[in-house]
Amino acid sequence: MKIIKFILLSLLLIIIPNSVSGQTHHDWSYNLSIYELNVRQYTNSGTFAEFETHLDRLKELGVGILWFMPIHPIGTQNRIGNLGSYYSVKDYYGINSEFGTLDNFKALVDSIHAKGMYVLMDWVGNHTSWDNSLTITHPEWYVKDGNGNFTPPPGTNWTDVIQLDYSEQELRDYMIEAMKFWITEVDVDGFRCDAVSFIPLDFWEEAIAELKNIKPEIFMLAEDDGTEYQTAGFDMSYGWGLYGFGEGILVNIANEINNANFINGYSTLENTNYSSSHYRMYFTSNHDENSWYGTVFELFGDAAEVFAVLTSTFRSMPLIYSGQEAGLDHRLLFFDKDEITWQPHPFAEIYKSLLHLKKENKALWNGNEGGQLQRVLTTNNPAIFAFVREKENYKVFGIFNLTDSVRTFTLQGNLYTGNYRNVFTNDSILFNENAEVTLPAWGYRVYEIGSGITGIEDETSLPEEFILYQNYPNPFNPGTSIRYAVGSRKFVSLKVYDILGNEVAALVNEEKPEGDYEVTFNASALASGVYFYNLIAANYTASKKMMLLK
């Protein structure tokens, strides 16, 4: 009888599919962004426990995936700096005691999952620290120089680590089992795989197949830009052509080497070279960029904000590095303690608006679930990059001035026409064909249809012939943007007054044709306080309040 029961049970296991066998990461990653977590620098103590106090804030920001930089013990032999590099791994099964314990990490992962977010671990499979126990138990797993000595990865200056040899099958088996441990014991949701190009591609094919066999919905991120990783089983790769290693189109635009047309060419190549199901990761910073190449303000100057918005609405998944939402303005030390300064910054509200929009508007979803980027042509294509992304009844329309000068231009075609909500001001706007737009230097607009964040149902909800919008950001220091719409050609006056009614600035005082306009008000010479701006156009008069906080 026991034998019969065993046979029946075996047949049932064959016939009945695993309840998660049909799942993939697409079931949960389709509308998410990714946030890189530098545990050491995140808080004063640099521990898992103190970081956990930030989870509610990150959830409110709209973060979907938390990528932990390596959390393993760090080698001491040939260590650089006082604390060493995260990427000098001493024990693949261990936890850096500076952060906490394995139980602390398990509890943190559970808390992250309970808040609807996901966890990726950084996996450093190419090299280990000089004092990793594998150097004693399996020295044959390492590359040796001509004298039989361990050696750093070839072509690098990584003197604190030594190269593993993936011609050894036992090393491959060990590494796969170690990765499985973090899936089965801690329930992580995937891995960001470091320096993947140093490791044979067939290892990744084997490893990913085995990992997805035990957890089909895991997410695998390759630190590389190559097209081959999408067929090796990786779910996302780096968009280094847009920006990476201090180079790329964004840096060249900021330095006036490239223009907006290069963004369009890059997008076309992305669509050609990568399948629509494969995600690409775009960013303006990460741990390498910040520490070795500079902050976004060093690299991009006044273009930092517009590039943050562009990479958050481009064709796939955006990355935010620790502290970017707080306006991180210094290079974090890589080998020593250097705590992030958490402060209010306009980037926080910008990222919050965009990450929540990504969750709610299908046009911005990742891979096949989202809408393909289509360029909207203008009368100044070298300066202006405009696009729509559309999926079902959802649509996002972005307009970006990628120059350091004010630009007035006319939108062409009809890809963009319709009634929209301004993502940042919540105002309604109607775009007809041949609409004229003015954007300040490095200015941008993002409009959307369909998210449900604010409904735009019919033209009865559209603005009047003339309209004055709330400035953004508000409060501000020292600059803010003021937008207004002119329904027909009229003489327009836009002035700023202090709380006593004294005129402090005349921003516009001329005839304007129909169109949507924006001016920048710089209050660097003024004191903190409440100010009013007033628009007069024919019989239309409107005033709004803004606050300068220094």
Series of mean pLDDT values for 10-residue runs along the chain (550 residues)? 40 36 83 98 98 97 98 98 98 98 98 97 98 98 97 96 98 98 98 98 98 96 97 97 95 97 96 95 97 97 97 96 97 98 94 96 96 97 98 97 96 95 91 93 95 49 65 87 87 88 90 88 91 83 82
pLDDT at 22 (0 to 100): 56
pTM comes to 0.81
pLDDT at 536 (0 to 100): 86
pLDDT at 476 (0 to 100): 86
Answer yes or no: are the C-beta atoms of 402 and 303 closer than 8 Å. Answer: yes
Question: Could you tell me how far CA 463 lies from the centroid of its own chain?
Answer: 33
**Among the listed residues 147, 146, 128, the one whose alpha carbon sits nearest the alpha carbon of residue 138:** 128
Separation CA 476–CA 469 (nearest Å): 15
pLDDT at 530 (0 to 100): 84
E strand or H helix at 434: none
pLDDT at 7 (0 to 100): 38
pLDDT at 513 (0 to 100): 87
Phi, psi of 413 (to 5 degrees): 80, -165
Pairing relation of β-strands 418-422 and 444-449? antiparallel
Separation CA 523–CA 549 (nearest Å): 10
**Beta strands across the sheet bearing 436-439:** 407-410, 436-439, 515-522, 479-486, 466-468
What amino acid is encoded at 145 in this protein? D
pLDDT at 260 (0 to 100): 98
- The residue behind tokens 């006082």 is 82
What is the DSSP code (8-state) at residue 239?
Answer: -
- CA-to-CA dists, residue 120 to 110, 221, 362, 468, angstroms: 13, 9, 24, 45
How many Å from the N-terminal Cα to the C-terminal Cα in the chain? 82
Q: Which residues pair with 408 in a beta bridge?
A: 438
- The residue behind tokens 């090299």 is 127
The helix/strand/coil state of 398 is: strand
**Among the listed residues 132, 129, 139, the one whose alpha carbon sits nearest the alpha carbon of residue 161:** 129
Domains in the chain (CATH in brackets) are: 2-124+167-364 (3.20.20.80), 465-550 (2.60.40.2550)
Angle between helix 201-214 and helix 169-186 axes, rounded to 10 deg: 30
E strand or H helix at 183: helix 169-186
Question: Cβ contacts of residue 70 below 8 Å, gap of 6+?
Answer: 86, 87, 89, 96, 121, 122, 123, 124, 194
Find the DSSP H helices in 314-380.
346-360
